Structure 1
Amino acid sequence: MSKDDVDREIAKAFQMWADVADLTFVHLNESSTVDIEILFVSGVYDGPGGVLAKSSYPREGAFVHFDESETWTHNSDKETSLLQVATHQFGHTLGLRHSSVRTAVMSPIYDYSPDLKLDKDDIEGIQALYGENPLSKSKTKE
């Protein structure tokens, strides 16, 4: 994926949470002090098809590290969807744990979805932590 494609997918993932909760995200350059560090790392995980990414729960210096050995993609079920994995990992950095609801973004099982949406369970969880986005209505996956 190109840097522009990666940036676009990362922005979409953050926006999914901001659309339903009282959250605002701002993209900062590499030399800035950030609240969530996002990196692609190699040689740390178990190679293609294993651990896709790791993240921390909210705290100073929160992070999401994506496995560089994965083949990241957008709009394709052939490899690993950056949007889907990023949305899930950002949920963790915002304070959400895994969900037992199979259709939730926060489900621990990765199944590609061409029409990724937050589940009612995801929305209720994030709103319990941050409140509802005062500017928009929540859209749930039925």
Structure 2
Amino acid sequence: MRYTYPALIVKDEWVGYCAYLNDFGTVTQGDDIQDAVEMGADALWIMIDDYLQLDKPLPKPTYPEEHEGLLVAISVDVATERGLLTTKMAAGLLGVSDSRVRQMVCSGQLASKKIGRDNYVYLWSVRERQANPPKPGRPKKKALAEQS
């Protein structure tokens, strides 16, 4: 699906040109105007993808009437498989580290899908883990459990 949002391109004496995506509270920069627009498109794609993956409502595009700099409309295609989270997004939802999520994927505690070299965790698996958290402490060893 194609999404279009405004970006304000402003010359900055330190970094070149900044692209402000005010609807998402994001700023990025480039060496020239074209580079700043391309970097803005990359940032916009990432923000929209994150919002869709987490089922968050997208902000409505707002075009300021008064502004300084160049106002451009950036349009991106975002075609993601809904319900897949990066390990970093899953870690944020579960309150654990990114490496712990990868361990949980490897041990089968979280359902995932491998795309390229990366694992993506299913949102339903994270929700299931949130609804049924593990008991605190280490699990009993089998030998000790059989003696009890």
Tell me the TM-score normalised to structure 2 length.
Answer: 0.24
User: Per chain length, whose mean CA-contact separation is higher, i.e. which structure has more relative contact order (CA < 8 Å, sep 6+)?
Assistant: 1
Q: Which has the higher helix share?
A: 2
Higher radius of gyration, 1 or 2: 2
Q: Which has the higher strand share?
A: 2
Tell me the TM-score normalised to structure 1 length.
Answer: 0.24
